[in-house]
């Protein structure tokens, strides 16, 4: 079956479609020995030989993991500082990648997969997939500021907001439950910082329908294909 080259790369687990397009534009992808720069190029996933930086890309079985990320792990597949990586925690025969990022000391729900298409679906802003975080602040969250964060403030030159903010415990105004539908780097921390708050601890408790209840810190489980299909059913427009 013929598929667009960037889709082929993402389905093989090379990277998301967007990142795959970057590889194509950079001249790093070849089909049957010839470099391809056209994003509209189609390949036959049965007979064509596709390479990235000269290395043949193999189709592979899609795998999905739900990890309860502990503190002091980075969500990259390579770290120049030699820090521990979240991929070190999962025993998989496939090369897998984190879906989005959690900070070094942020804990909780993290999905890892070799399915670039699914990664793109989860992270694309248009799908409005909610992420819920427990955040501890260095001081009481004032009601005026809570409302500002829900209505929207300017971050990186554009209006940004939390979908919801609630207090975890009655009369405890330093611990909040935050819902967001975008995942820019350090998004939750930077939103609070704009209004003069420091996030002292952060845990992602859900990502879409997924949570890590019953999974200890550093533990993980495989997600079933039916669970993945359910995400598409819930959030496809």
103 catalytic per annotation: yes
Nearest to 213 by CA among 108, 70, 136, 117: 108
In this structure, what CATH number is given to the domain that contains residue 32? 3.10.290.10
Considering the domain architecture, whether residues 231 and 217 belong to the same structural domain is answered as yes
Number of domains in the chain: 3
pLDDT digits (tens, 9 = 90+) for 119-159: 989 999 899 999 999 999 999 999 999 999 999 999 999 99
pLDDT digits (tens, 9 = 90+) for 144-197: 999 999 999 999 999 999 999 999 998 899 999 999 998 888 999 999 999 999
Query: How far apart (Å, rounded) are the C-alpha atoms in residues 178 and 198?
Result: 14
**Rounded to the nearest 5 degrees, what angle is found at the Cα of 104, between the Cα atoms of 102 and 107?**
55
Considering the domain architecture, whether residues 114 and 214 belong to the same structural domain is answered as yes
Query: How far apart (Å, rounded) are the C-alpha atoms in residues 133 and 139?
Result: 17
Considering the domain architecture, whether residues 117 and 228 belong to the same structural domain is answered as yes
Q: Please tell me the predicted confidence (pLDDT) of residue 53.
A: 95
Query: How far apart (Å, rounded) are the C-alpha atoms in residues 209 and 54?
Result: 39
In this structure, what CATH number is given to the domain that contains residue 216? 3.30.70.580
Domain assignment of residue 39, given as a range: 2-56
Considering the domain architecture, whether residues 139 and 176 belong to the same structural domain is answered as yes
Considering the domain architecture, whether residues 224 and 186 belong to the same structural domain is answered as no
Catalytic: which of 103, 145, 164, 211?
A: 103
Q: What mean pLDDT value characterizes the chain?
A: 93
DSSP character string of 172-232: EEEEEEEEES---TTHHHHHHHHTT--EEEEEEEEETTEE-TT--TT-EEEPPHHHHHHHH
pTM, 2 dp: 0.78
Q: Please tell me the predicted confidence (pLDDT) of residue 143.
A: 96
| SS3 call for 88 | helix
200 pLDDT above the threshold of 80: yes
Considering the domain architecture, whether residues 16 and 51 belong to the same structural domain is answered as yes
In this structure, what CATH number is given to the domain that contains residue 180? 3.30.70.1560
Considering the domain architecture, whether residues 118 and 216 belong to the same structural domain is answered as yes
Considering the domain architecture, whether residues 171 and 198 belong to the same structural domain is answered as yes
Query: How far apart (Å, rounded) are the C-alpha atoms in residues 143 and 123?
Result: 30
């Amino acid at each position: 079956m013929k598929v667009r080259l960037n889709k082929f790369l993402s389905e093989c687990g090379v990277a998301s479609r967007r990142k795959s397009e970057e590889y194509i534009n950079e001249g790093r992808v070849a089909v049957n020995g010839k470099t391809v720069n056209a994003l509209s190029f189609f390949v036959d996933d049965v007979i064509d030989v596709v390479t990235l930086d000269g290395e043949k890309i193999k189709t592979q079985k899609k795998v999905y993991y739900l990890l309860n990320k502990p503190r002091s792990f980075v969500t990259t597949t390579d770290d120049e500082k030699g820090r521990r990586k979240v991929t070190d925690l999962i025993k998989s025969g496939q090369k897998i990648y984190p879906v989005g990022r959690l900070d070094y000391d942020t804990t909780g729900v993290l999905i890892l997969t070799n399915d670039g298409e699914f990664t793109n679906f989860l992270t694309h802003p248009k799908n409005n997939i909610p992420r819920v975080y427990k955040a501890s602040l260095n001081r009481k969250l004032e009601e005026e500021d809570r409302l500002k964060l829900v209505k929207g403030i300017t971050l990186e030159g554009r209006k940004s907001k939390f979908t919801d903010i609630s207090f975890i415990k009655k009369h405890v105004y330093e611990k909040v439950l935050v819902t967001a539908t975008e995942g820019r780097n350090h998004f939750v921390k930077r939103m609070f910082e704009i209004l003069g708050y420091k996030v002292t601890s952060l845990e992602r408790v859900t990502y879409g329908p997924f949570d890590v209840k019953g999974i200890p810190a550093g533990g993980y489980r495989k997600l079933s294909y039916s669970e993945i299909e359910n995400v598409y059913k819930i959030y496809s427009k």
